[in-house]
Every structure is written in C-alpha cells, then in structure tokens.
Amino acid sequence: MSGHSHLEGMNLSSLPLRGIRVVDACIYWAGPMASMLLADMGAEVIKIESIQRIDYLRLLGGWPTPDGYEWSAAFNGTNRNKYGITLNLNNPRGREIFKRLVEISDIVTENFSPRVMENWGLHYEVLKGINPRLIMLSMPGFGTTGPWRNYVTYGPNIEMVSGMPTISGYPDGEPMMTGYIADPIAGLMGAVAVMTALQYRHRTGEGQRIDMSQMEAATTFMGGPIMEYAMNKRLQPRRGNRHPVNAPHGVYRCQGDDQWVTITVSSEEEWTRFCNAIGNPQWTHESRFSDNAGRCENHDDLDILITEWTCQRDKHEVTELLQAAGVAATQVLSYADTLSDAHLEARGFYETITRPVTGTHPYPGFPAKFSETPISIRKPAPTLGLDNEHVLKEILGMTADEIKRLEEEEIIGTIPQGWPYSMDADEAISKLKDIYGKDA
C-alpha cells in the first residue's frame, strides 16, 4: 500500500493491519460491521457516503432534528475507527475520485445489490485494472450470481431464507426472528474472508474478488439442522428454551420486573446438587422427577415448580447459590445490565469515547485481546463528511480550490440534502422515505 494511516495523535505501529487502506462503500449493518472489524485491527478505513443518500443506518436515530442523522446508536456502534467522507458516485467526478482512492488502497468493501457497482462502472474488473493487487469484498444479499442476484434485501429477510426462524420459537408457536443476527454474522464472515485474501496476497502478490452471499453466510450457521434433514430426513422442531435431551433446561422468572435466570441440569449428579441447593422441597422426591426421562416428560410441571422457587428470589442470588452448588446457572442480563457488569468491567471491555454532537458514552470494545498488538477504539464514528478535507487534501493531494468546487457542485458536503428537520414527525417520516427509501 502506498501511504500510511493518518489517525492524528494515535499510535498504530503495533496494530495487526497497520498500513492497510480500505475504501468502504458499505451501508446499513452487515458491510459496515466487516469494515469496522478491519478498522479495529488497524486498517485505515475510509467510509464513503453521499449527501444525496446518506448511510440508511443513520436514520435509526433521533430525527427529525437539525443533527438527527448523527444520533443513530446503530450507526455510532458500527462505524468506529473509520474516516468518513461524502462522495456523490452518481457524478462522474465523484467516481473519478473513488478510482483515485482505489489506486492507492488495498481493499474495497461494498454490500449493494450487484447491479449498483456495475451501473457506476466500479465493478471488480474495472477496479482491478486500476489496482491489480486489489482485494474487493462484495456482500450482496444473495451473491453476485444466480436468479436472486439483483434482489435487494435486509437482515430480517436473510434470516428468513436461511431457515433460522423455523427452529426458533416455542413448539406451539410461530417461527421467530432471532433479532437481526444475519447482519453481524455476514459482517464477521466478511472480515474473515478479507483477512484470508490478505494472507493469499502476502504469499502471491495477487489480489482477488470475494463474492460473499449474506444468505449463505447465515445458512452456514444452520449446519446441524440442515445435515439432520440431509442425513436422516428429520426436521428439527422448535423447542423454545428446552434442550433436546436434558431437563430441567430453561429460563425462569425471578423477583422484579422482567428479571430472569437460566438453569440447566445435564446429569443425575447435577440434579441432586440442584435439589440440595433449593432445600429439597417435597416435589423433588416425586417419582416422575426421579430420572432424566421422567423430567423431560413432565418438563411443563417441572418448570412451574422451579419458577415458584426462583420468583421469590433475586436473579443474582439464584445464580450465586446454584453456581456454588455446581449447577449451571446464570442471570439473564439486559443491555443496560451489561454496562455495569463487574466481569466486563474487570476485563476493560467497554471504552469511554467522546464523539462530536453526541457526546461521551461507553462503547463495546473489541472482543479479542492480543498480547502483542492491543486493539482499542481510537476514533468515534465519523460525523457526515467529517474527513472530507483530510482525505482529499492529505491523501489525494487536492488543493483547497478543488475541494471548494466539489462542495459547490454538491459532490461532497456535510449536510444531507432535503433533511426535513423543520417538519412535524409524520411529514418528516414521509419525506425521508421519499428521499432514502429506495435502493441506490
């Protein structure tokens, strides 16, 4: 790579991906998650939006207000450690600047439907001609080939076609979404794919294109149920919180509003420990609970009896009592609980970061700790167009007059076009859908 990271005042010399530059054209969650992980590991990631169509993830925030597009918690949590510039790729001049960045970069990431980069003339064969060592990660919903290639999709749709909801939920209920898990799955796999391609380039000097279907990424996590059907022609049923062979196994209500503990018993020895820990009430001696087969058969009644005990106690008390007895149990933490969790605090997982507009908050850190190359949050998510001047002037060598002309021609900027912050909420939502609701 020609050029170095320019994160001012920050020591990147020890980071694993120091010296790697990424041109990031991703939007929403899956693609930005992949580029965020690369940025965390030290890559210089230049996130590209436009004032005509900002990253739609910004809309999940506190609009309509003058700075509402900066208040999306999802955007702020998925774009740390990145530079942010605006660049209108519908404009030939914008595409020319994009190509100049590609020429001096190592990686391009994008998660549009395949036709978007093709329509812009920025597909792999073109970019490879500019930079033969380029690695390009393309993350469309359904891959770049096949009859669904041009379908536009989002995390919930991906989850549905992966088969996950068919095994998620209660036995007598409907299939359930797991909570947008398809997006971070695809993001993680995208980052791993890029790291693999970097290793290949390190050995051979050759770049390559990565065609990564988000549908296939999510479906990979269905290996067990898929092979169960392929091998044995059995469809895995929905089990709720039950285990296929062990009982008791579930989530039990505790004292307080929406407070829970999870408990699992996987052997007769653990069942004896559990009974002793809760004081051996009379029902624990009933013959129907005397072995695992009986407990499985009478799991509904067992859950009621266990809940009568847990609901009288604090979830932390239940956890400590059962764990001390050698029973697998832990409190169910809310997102708010994790912010003050003593274990995460002891490991230094959360990092306090100050960001323009939104202020100072704790952020989830990088999940792996490297002994020789420690990773941290060095830069908050960029405000819209924050690094236009830095990237265009310091990296591409453009003059102040050239940058000013780009602003005048609305190729770059820092305020989204048509931001309807003066309207009432209903009118603003309608306007935002008109502007941003269609695919690029």
Catalytic annotation, residues: 183
For the chain, the straight-line distance linking the first and the last C-alpha, in angstroms and rounded, comes to: 30
Residue linked to tokens 């407990």: 295
Task: Provide Rg for the chain, Cα atoms.
Answer: 26
Tell me phi and psi for residue 137, to 5 degrees: -100, 115
Q: Please report the sign of the dihedral spanned by the C-alpha atoms of residue 222, residue 267, residue 288, residue 312.
A: negative
Cβ density class 262-281: b for 16+ within 10 Å, e for less: bbbbeeeebbbbbbebbeee
Report the distance separating Cα 105 and Cα 191, nearest Å: 16
Cβ density class 324-356: b for 16+ within 10 Å, e for less: ebebebebbeeeeeeeeeeebeeeebbeebebe
Report the distance separating Cα 149 and Cα 140, nearest Å: 8
* CA nearest to 306, candidates 267, 253, 343: 253
Report the distance separating Cα 373 and Cα 14, nearest Å: 5
DSSP structure class, residue 332: P
Do the Cβ atoms of 264 and 243 come closer than 8 Å? Answer: yes
For residue 281, the one-letter residue type is P
* CA nearest to 423, candidates 412, 432, 415: 432
| Greatest C-alpha distance within the chain | 86
Q: Please report the sign of the dihedral spanned by the C-alpha atoms of residue 164, residue 167, residue 169, residue 172.
A: positive
Q: Which helix H or strand E contains 47, and what residues bound it?
A: strand 44-49
Query: What is the residue-wise DSSP string for 258-282?
Result: T-EEEEE--SHHHHHHHHHHTT--G
- Determine the 3-state secondary structure of 302 from DSSP: helix
DSSP structure class, residue 395: I
For residue 184, the one-letter residue type is P
* CA nearest to 421, candidates 74, 27, 61, 28: 61
